[in-house]
Structure 1
Amino acid sequence: MLTYFRCIRSKILNKESGLVNLINEEITHKVFGEGNIVGHEESVITVDFNEKIKKFVYPDAFGEFITLNDRSVAKSLEKIFLKREKKEEALLRKRKEEQERLALEQQLRDKLKNNRIHESSQIVFWLDVEEQQHVFTDWQVSTGTIQSGVNKGQPNRAARLRPNSAGLLTVRGAEQRETERQILGLYMVNEAYSGNLSEDGMVPSHAEFRIQLSDQEAEEMLFWNYYINQNHPHRTSWNSGKYRYFDNVWTAQILKDIIALRTDEEQIKEAQRFLEYFCQMNALDMNNIPEANGALKQS
């Protein structure tokens, strides 16, 4: 008995049947006894049991009901079965992964619909000197206070911010031109944070998704490579205000460029995890992020 044969379903067509010629092979059936294979099609074998013709599903019948009497042919057939089984397992894995991907995309669409994710729900901070000294230890930044009107002195709430938002940290030295504004790092907003409910104007970070750039990396990561005023594409001005909103896709571009810029494997993985999480939270396809086309890249 070839008990080591596995019973596999015949969802995959027997395109390899020519590798083993089963015609005229002698077999033993558990019920019908000795027989001879007289026909072999893609998914059916025909067996002659002393002039009693029976048809069986191929390859399901092997291992359960039918065994080949020739051990060498049986071993050859077993190799084919194992190879086909691996193909079927790979196909099932691929189908499962596709189902999971589609389910995730649906969840993201639902999240986008239910949470009404704004296309520019990221925030860019202009760090002052004091903030630069502790931002990478405290990992939170203030949105500042309202400067005039009846609410003067109250926290300037960034209403668009949600757990899908990232805080981009930028700086420009007093002697630098605006076009030299650098990106020092970024972080995901704390998953429990909501900008329109903030009481103190502080924007706290997620416990995991934080990136601090080195001085050398910051020199390569210029803010105006990404930011663009659609009405005035060549304009590079930040006249006033502690923060401004930033496009979701631009943030993904920054993360993508940080990954390309880095050489340390752990730091690359850190940025990749950040990008994956960011795209998931913002319903973006991380495999189709366009190249940056900010004001500095306009001809």
Structure 2
Amino acid sequence: MNLINKKVTHKRFGMGSIVKHNDSVIEINFASENKKFVYPDVFGKHLKLHDKMVANSLEKIIQKREAERQEEEWKKEEEKKLQQKNLELRLEHEKLMKNHKLHPESQMVFWCDAEEENSSFSEWKVFSGVIKSGNNQGKPNKPIRLHQNSAVLLTAVDAGMPEKDRRILGVYMVNEDFIGKLSEDGYIPAHSTYRLQLTEQESDQMHFWKYYVNEKYPNKMTWNTGKYRYFENLWMAQILLDIVSLKSDPTERELAQQFFEHFCKMNQIMDQDLPKPNGALMRI
């Protein structure tokens, strides 16, 4: 908008004429001297244009700028609130990490269907499923026992085979900063390093029920409902140790050994005191 030579009246300096202006400063020639003001802020309270048509156009510009300013302030306030919320979540996360007490059954075994047998390894995460009933029906399950010491065991049963033939497909530690009770989307991501996938030949030698047993029904091998169940830390250590012995490739064997040692350290397990597997299959 060109305001050069437009007549104005200032509350203090009286009548004048605009001689210069840009997007932020306006200069006005009054009877005694030239004065510079912040543009367009000076209009309204302190300065008035004589030309009503131009004044109306300028008012629209001022209103637009004010709306943009308020929008910017609102964004800054929202950003501030978000930063505060993230800070509170981070502090809560650090507190939970620091004060975590080991649960003796903080490992998860997951039942993979045919599609998940591929996606679990390509994406290195599993979905814990949704709540079936109650006030939270439809919301993702929270794997509340899982913490930085937890591993997820991936298993499957081939079509037409009995449950006792459930085999282990692979295993991974949860992501380094994962806390199950804080999970909102139900996904359980893998650790960046500690993750193992078994070959088909290796999987055929790793029977899940060799390690797992329901002490109430020690001779039963059944999995009725649900995508996952928790099990003992010691059993996971037994599984990892047997995977180490299965691996023939030196690189894979070294990774499996590092995985096993890391797991034992995180779960305060002395590997030399590890008992032999005594799952339901071993009790037949």
Counterparts of 2:276 and 2:99, CA distance in 1 = 29
Paired residue for 2:106?
Answer: 121
1:213-248 residue CA offsets vs partner (Å, 9 max, x unmatched): 000000000000000011111110000001000110
- Name the aligned partner's letter for residue 254 of structure 2: K
Q: What is the identity, as a one-letter code, of the residue corresponding to 2:216?
A: N
Q: From the CA coordinates, give the structure whose radius of gyration is larger.
A: 2
Secondary structure at 1:287 match in 2: helix
> Is the Cα–Cα contact under 8 Å of residues 112 and 283 in structure 1 kept in the other structure?
no
- Quote the Cα distance in structure 2 between the aligned partners of 1:155 and 1:250: 27
**TM-score between both structures, scaled by the size of structure 1:** 0.61
Match of 2:263 in 1: 278
Specify the alignment match of 1:142 in structure 2.
Answer: 127
Correspondence for 1:173: 158
Q: Kindly report which structure 2 residues correspond to 1:194-205, keeping only aligned pairs within 5 A, or say none.
A: 194-205=179-190
Q: 1:182 aligns with which of 152, 167, 173?
A: 167
Aligned partner of 2:202 in structure 1 is 217
Offset of residue 113 of structure 1: 10
Measure the CA separation in 2 of the matches of 1:177 and 1:296: 13
Match of 1:9 in 2: none
Matches within 5 A, 1:15-26: none
Q: Tell me the CA shift for residue 265 of structure 1.
A: 1.4
Separation of aligned partners in 2, 1:133 and 1:262: 21
Q: Which residue of 2 aligns with 1:98?
A: none
Using the alignment, how far apart are the partners of 2:201 and 2:97 within structure 1? 36
CA deviation after TM superposition for structure 1 residue 206, in Å? 0.4
Structure 2 residues without counterparts, runs of 5 or longer:
1-95
Counterpart-to-counterpart distance in 2, 1:198 and 1:115: 16
Structure 1 position 173, deviation (Å): 2.2
Write out per-residue CA displacement over residues 54-87 of structure 1, whole angstroms, 9 at most, x where no aligned residue.
Answer: xxxxxxxxxxxxxxxxxxxxxxxxxxxxxxxxxx
The 8 Å contact of residues 155 and 201 in structure 1, kept in 2 or not, is answered as yes
Question: How far apart, CA to CA, are the structure 2 residues paired with 1:228 and 1:215?
Answer: 24
- Please state whether the residue corresponding to 1:136 is helix, strand or coil: helix
Per-residue deviation, 1:254: 0.3
Structure 1, unaligned runs of 5 or more: 1-110
Q: In the TM superposition, what is the alpha-carbon distance from 1:133 to its structure 2 partner?
A: 1.8
The alpha carbon displacement at 1:112 in A equals 11
Alpha carbons 1:141, 1:204 under 8 Å: kept: yes
Aligned length: 189
Distance 1:112 1:222 in 2: 33
Report the CA distance between 1:115 and its aligned residue.
1.6
3-state SS in 1 of match to 2:269: coil
Secondary structure (helix, strand or coil) at the match of 1:134 reads helix
Q: Deviations over 1:195-227 (max 9, x none)?
A: 011010000010000000000000000000000
Counterpart of 1:99 in structure 2 is none
State percent identity of aligned pairs.
49
Deviates more, 1:131-140 or 1:195-204: 131-140
CA distance in 1, matches of 2:104, 2:275: 15
AA aligned to 1:192 is D
SS in 2 for 1:256: helix
Q: Which amino acid aligns with 2:264?
A: C
Q: Return the offset for 1:183.
A: 0.3
3-state SS of the aligned residue for 2:204?
A: helix
Query: 2: CA distance between counterparts of 1:283 and 1:276?
Result: 10
Q: Which moved more, 1:201-210 or 1:254-263?
A: 254-263
Moved over 2 A (4+): 111-114
One-letter amino acid of the structure 1 residue matched with residue 229 of structure 2:
R
| Distance across 1 between alignment mates of 2:142 and 2:158 | 26
In the alignment, is the contact (CA less than 8 A) between 1:186 and 1:212 conserved in 2? yes
Contact 1:143 1:158 in 2 (8 A): yes
Q: For residues 99-131 of structure 1, give each alpha carbon's deviation from its aligned partner in whole angstroms, at most 9, with x where no partner exists.
A: xxxxxxxxxxxx999421110000010012221
Give the AA of the match of 1:291.
K
RMSD: 1.6
TM-score (norm 2): 0.65
CA 1:142/1:169 → structure 2, altered by over 3 Å: closer, same or farther? Answer: same
1:274 partner amino acid: F
Q: State the Cα distance separating 1:279 from its structure 2 match.
A: 0.5
* Residues 255 and 275 in structure 1, CA contact (< 8 A), matched pair in contact too: yes
| 1:294 corresponding residue in structure 2 | 279
SS at match of 1:137: helix
- Partner Cα separation in structure 1 for residue 158 and residue 249 of structure 2: 28
